[in-house]
Amino acid sequence: MTADGICVRGIHPRANRLVRAPGLEKGTDSGMTANLVNRNSHETGELGLGPDYTLCECELEPLKQLVARLERASQVEVRKSPSVCLTMIPAEDSLEKQKFFLGEALTTECEVAVDGLPGFGLCLGDEPVRAYCIAVVDALLHGDRPAPIEVEAFLREQGEAVARRDQDEFDLVLQTQVDFKLMEEE
């Protein structure tokens, strides 16, 4: 299988949801390929990973440091302290699309206002610090003014780090791909 037949999971940075990232094209359907491709995501710096995914997956320490700096430059008000709750995860069978409830996931939520702009933090697990940090960044990203350069730089840097980590693990997974040979070929 060549790189022509691959796709990436993309989260659009602005739409803040998993969508087909810019540069994604319909893949060729050779019967062995996936359905989307993103040939130049790394070359263009567009990693296809949005802020929420990055903020949920990045190392906590640099995120804390970023938010500590933001706190010094802005007025942060905690409107709802971080608290754990449940998120029900529905799934569906892959053929007939029968929806059912798979189970619940532990989730942390937090609400803040940064200079009056509302921010909402949500992440899986019992992660009060991360949820708070996500809420602060969310307020600055989705306010009525451009996001601070520092935040943009952080997201770019950490987005790349998360993508690299995912790719590194995927490289190892790919080493276990089976190369079938017919017995006569041996």
Partner 1 sequence: MGYVAVKGGQDAIENAIKLVDYFRWKGRTKPIELDQARTQMRLAVDRAMGEGSLYAPEHAALALLQVEGDSFEAAFHLRAYRATLERRYDAEILNTREMFVHRRISSTFRDIPGGQILGPTRDYSFRLLNPALLNASLGSIEKFLSDLRDEIDPNKLHEMTTYKKVIDIFLKEGLMSSQARPGEDRRVFDVTREAIKFPVPRSATLQMLARAETGALMCMAYSTMRGFGMAHGTVGELRVGEVPVRVVDKRGRLRCVGKIKVSEAEMVGGSGHGQGEGGGRAAKKTGAPRYSIGYGLCFGQNETKAICMGMVESALRNPNSDNPANNQEFVLYHTEVIEGYGFTNHLKLPHYVTFQAGMEGARRVARKNSDKAEQVTVSAGGVEENND
Identify which of 14, 152, 129 has the alpha carbon closest to the alpha carbon of residue 65: 129
| Chain-centre distance for alpha carbon 146 | 21
**Residue 28 or 73: which CB sits closer to partner 1?**
28
Structure tokens at 116: 């009056």
**Residue 30 or 65: which CB sits closer to partner 1?**
30
Contact at 8 Å (CB) between 51 and 122? no
Which amino acid does the sequence have at 155?
Answer: L
In the complex, the smallest distance separating the C-beta of residue 148 from partner 1, rounded to whole angstroms, is: 20
**Residue 72 or 90: which CB sits closer to partner 1?**
90
In the complex, the smallest distance separating the C-beta of residue 72 from partner 1, rounded to whole angstroms, is: 26
**Residue 149 or 178: which CB sits closer to partner 1?**
178
In the complex, the smallest distance separating the C-beta of residue 123 from partner 1, rounded to whole angstroms, is: 5
Sign of the C-alpha dihedral, residues 63, 84, 114, 139?
positive
In the complex, the smallest distance separating the C-beta of residue 57 from partner 1, rounded to whole angstroms, is: 7
Sign of the C-alpha dihedral, residues 4, 54, 60, 110?
negative
**Residue 35 or 149: which CB sits closer to partner 1?**
35
For 43-74, the DSSP string reads TTT--S--HHHHHHHS-HHHHHHHHHHHHHHS
In the complex, the smallest distance separating the C-beta of residue 68 from partner 1, rounded to whole angstroms, is: 23
